Every structure is written in structure tokens, then in C-alpha cells.
Chain A
């Protein structure tokens, strides 16, 4: 009797979230999945089961390239952000006095408070031919001609890294702060040097925070349209840019849906990898 009551109460509590998720995620996703198997004939959508869109994504060089470019940029951004964020989080957690840590964290995430679009355009002004970097290097006599940095993959990666280092710093910092100093002491008592302590004790214990941040970076980066659109100069198109092109220019909703499903597939694979690695299911 009590168990039945608990069950009812449990369902009552999860029902709003369940209904919300079903109505605004599951149903739209199924509709998108169905639409991805439709095709365009002229300017009309023909429903049915046509795998043509998926075949095109993996066989047409320009579309396949979009997928490859997206993956290359995402992996690059994730790795660079991890490498930069870890030492930053370490310094904040262990080198900055306790009373200043919150302030430093706030300063670290300060760029979050500005518009994403404005921040991306700001990078154009920094990286441009007449931008801050080129002007400074030319004034110092390091270079005689401006270096071409904007409208490139370098610019896109820079814009992304600037953003995601903040995100990763937060997740790694949280992990480092929870770590008992006794682990390091125990390792050192057993004869481990600083490097060995870090490699065999600290790093494995902070992997969850690192990988959580890495997963979020991957998900947000691979689906981002704004940064490559503003900073990439259309010199190579990512998958989200190609999706926008299908929607905005061609009105080809079936192809856009198929591309979105592929994108979701990649994110799902990344999640499954993370879940297996980090045992997210235990939370």
C-alpha cells in the first residue's frame, strides 16, 4: 500500500518533466527524424522513406567535408581548452589565496556576461589585418607585413577556445577543490615525486571534472553556428553552417533534418563514451 503510494507520488513528481521532455524533445525529434527521410522534388517536400539525404551527406564531398571540418575544429578546441584550463584551474584552486578565489573565478567567467555575437565580432577586430595583434607586432618591429589571422580556422578556434576555457576551468576547479590533500600526501609518503603524484593520483581523480567539461565543450562547439560564421569567413563550412544553408537558402527541410540527426548522432556517441568512461549513470 505504502509502496503504491510512493509509486504514485514518484510518478506525480516526474510527470511534469516527463511531459515537457516528451512534448518538446521526443515528439519534435521524431518529427525531425521522419522529415529527414523525406525528399525535395522541385520546391515541394515529398514524404516517404528515402535514404537519399543520408547517402548524400556521406558521399557528396562538400557535405562530407562539413562533417569532417566540424569534427576537426571540435577536437582541436576541446584539446586546447583542456590544456589551457587545467593549469588555470590548478592555480586558482591551490595558488590563489582562499579569500581571493571567488573573485578570481568571477573574473574568469566575466566574458560570459557579454553577448556571444559581440564577443565574436570583437575577435575580428583583434585578429584583423589592422587589428590589435598585427598593429602591436608591427610597432615592435617583429613583423613588417600584417599576418592574415581572421577569416580562418585559426580565428574560429581562437574564438571558441576563449569561450570554452572558462567553462572547463569551472568544472576542473570544482573537482580540484573537492580533492582531499591527503591523497597527495599519501602518495608522497610512499615515495612518489610531484610528477608521479600528479600523473597517478591527482589526474585520475580529477578526470571526471575534466571530462565533464570536455563533453560540454564538444556538445556546444560542434553545434555552434555563430562563431564559425563570424570568424571563419566562410572559408570552410561546418555542419551547423551547412544546416543553416539548407534552411535559409534552399528551404530544404528534409536535408537540414538529416544533417541535424547526424549531428545528434555524434553528440550521442560522445555522451555514450563519456557515460561509460565517467559512469555518469551513477549520479
Chain B
């Protein structure tokens, strides 16, 4: 009696394994850095650096292959470095507010400040207090933008978006998405509660719990970059809290109704820095890469990278960008915008844990 089922069972196992193999084959491959060749540079970056238009000119000029690995979140980047062998990585892109954390860990190499074009930078983006320690420059700001409110002006009254409180009025319930990154969103809520992002501590954090949960209840999803773009582009939601030009600019050609604004309560300034790792065995070449990225040409390419757009820190990139690109980036509005935003909160380890606990609680509501 059991022969047939057992035989069938064997066959079913074989078919299942075939199916499982197909499943595995269909799974996305992870990006593995290639090592060992002498003329190679390994960079731990954000997704905007993986645009071939950005890296190829440097590779051709220096006859080098740049291996890029994306990561998201400083903790993940530092964890990757910790698990790697010294010398595996040459270049690091990191949140500007976290440069000090990397310097504390002793992983950043000194950069030749006099060879960096910071004199051409938007003054607010030089960020010497973040990129420099005791007179030594460890990183340089490369790109910036804002976490504010992105919306579809065909479905939302733009006047409503100038006041953060409108999101709590009930008018847009179910049509809101929240960007899934706790630092900028908590920063925005902090500003809406009248607390400067720099003053956000454990006590102040507790006052954000109620408005955060309230906002969550009015939202249909909490989504990361691609899902946020998809949700706005497909009309799944009309408003993204935490969005900005980094989200809408790349979709501008497909849907001109996608827009963003900084509400009267203010927005949060994001900025990313780039530096050379202390353990790099190619420091000179890595430094050349950093110099290329902050050059006007590199900055223009980075600003309009296929993953997400953002303002270049080097204002000289304005000579390279086209008028259309500058319009999408709102080049002429930057002086006004920069006066209305505050930097990301910079939590210590304990506060960071508390923030993430609060965020997880919110997600599981």
C-alpha cells in the first residue's frame, strides 16, 4: 500500500526541488565586491553612486575599475566595514551627521583640504563642524536635499501642504505615506512640535509618540525609497511625509504633478559626505575619486543620478547642469530653503535605540 505514495513522494520531492531551484535562480543576486586586482577601487556607497554615467568617466580617466556596493543606514555600513578585512574598502559615503561617529571609530583617513573645492560650495554645506575634527578634514559634503512633504498637486491642494498640521485634519486620511526612515520623520515631527532637531532628547522623544502614532493611523503605508516612488507615481497615495526633491525629481519627466514643499514648521536637511577609509591601500586613488565626485562635473552627474536626484554641494556644478535640471532641482530657491530647514537629529547610541524602538512600535500598530 505504501509503495505508490512513497514513490510518488520521492517524485514530488524531485519536482519540488526543481521548483525550489527555479525559485533560487529567480532570486535577486547580491552585489559582491571584487577584490584582488591591483587597479581597483572599492567603494561603499549609496545607490546614487551606482549610476554608470557617474563612475565611468573616472574609470576611463584613471584606467581603474570602481567596485561599488550599496548600503542603507550608517549602522549597516559600519557593520559591513567591521566584517571586512582591512583594506577591503577604499571609499565611504556616509550621512554627514555620522562622519563624527566614523572618525571616533578611527576608520576615516585625513583628506587634503586644500585640494578640495569647498570654496565653491554652498556655505551651509561645507559643514566643517561635521566633516572636520581638530583641524583635520575627514570627509567632504557631496550632495544634499530635504526631507519635507512630497505630494501630487493634481490630487492635493498645494496650499494645504504649506502647513504640517493639515496632515492631522482628516482631509487626507488614507492618502498619506510615511517615508520609512526614522531620523528625518522624527525630525519633522519634532519641528512641528516646536522642538529643534538638535534639542531632541529622550524626554522630547516621548512627546512625539502621540503625533507619530496619530500620523500613522492616518497613513496607508510606511515605505522605503522605491516603494514610496511607486506609491506616488501610481496614485496609491497623494502625500509622502519625509519626501522631497530626491523622490519627485527623478519622476518629473513622467508626472509633472509630483511636487514638494517645505511647510511653515520647517523641514529637515539631509546631506551625505564622502571620505577615504584609513585602512585603504589605495589612498591616493581613493582621494582622486573623492576629488572627482566633488568636482563640478562629478557633482552635476551625482545630482542627476538615476537612483535619486539631489542638490550638489558644490555650487559650481550649476555651470554644468542644464536649465531644465536646475529647474527640477529648484536651484534658485536654495538660499530660501536653506534658512527654513534644520539638520538631522544626531542621537547618541542610547537615544538612537529609543528612536528605533519607537519607530518599530509605530510600524507594528
Binding site for B on A (CB under 8 A): 42-43, 61-63, 65-66, 109, 112-117, 121, 124-125, 128-131, 148, 150-151, 163, 166-167, 170-180, 205-209, 212-213, 216, 220, 226, 229-230, 233-237, 242, 245, 247-251, 253, 278, 282-283
Contacts and interface: CB of A to CB of B under 8 A. Distances in A.
Contact of B12 (A113, A170, A220, A250): A170
Contacts of A63: 360
The prevalent SS among residues of B at the interface is helix
A129 B23 contact: no
B16 A216 contact: yes
Interface in B316-337: none
Interface stretch (B46-54, B72-80, B134-142, B157-165): B72-80
Contacts of A278: 9
A170 B79 contact: no
Contacts of A236: 363-364
B12 A167 contact: no
Contacts of A62: 357, 360-361, 363-364
- Which residue, B7, B9, B12, has most C-beta atoms of chain A within 10 A? B12
Contact of B221 (A42, A151, A212): A151
B223 A249 contact: no
B13 A128 contact: no
B228 to A, nearest CB: 10
9 contacts: A66-B364, A148-B220, A167-B20, A174-B15, A180-B4, A205-B5, A206-B5, A212-B12, A226-B28
A283 B6 contact: yes
Which bracket fits the contact residues of B?
35 or more
Query: Considering the complex of A and B, which 6 residue pairs feature the smallest CB-CB distances, nearest first?
Result: A233-B221, A178-B8, A251-B75, A234-B222, A151-B221, A208-B9
The prevalent SS among residues of A at the interface is helix
A175 B14 CA distance: 11
Interface in B218-271: 220-224, 227, 230-231, 234-236
Contacts of B349: 42-43
A130 B5 contact: no
Contacts of A116: 23, 26-28
- Which residue, A43, A121, A150, A237, has most C-beta atoms of chain B within 10 A? A43
Nearest to A171: B12
Given A129-B235, A205-B5, A251-B79, A234 B230 contact: no
Interface of B: 4-16, 18-20, 22-23, 26-28, 72-73, 75-76, 78-79, 174, 180, 182, 220-224, 227, 230-231, 234-236, 349-350, 353, 356-357, 360-361, 363-364
Contacts of B357: 62
A100 to B, nearest CB: 18
Contacts of A151: 220-221, 223, 231, 236
A145 B81 CA distance: 50
A124 B20 CA distance: 24
B353 to A, nearest CB: 7
B8 A177 contact: yes
B93 to A, nearest CB: 16
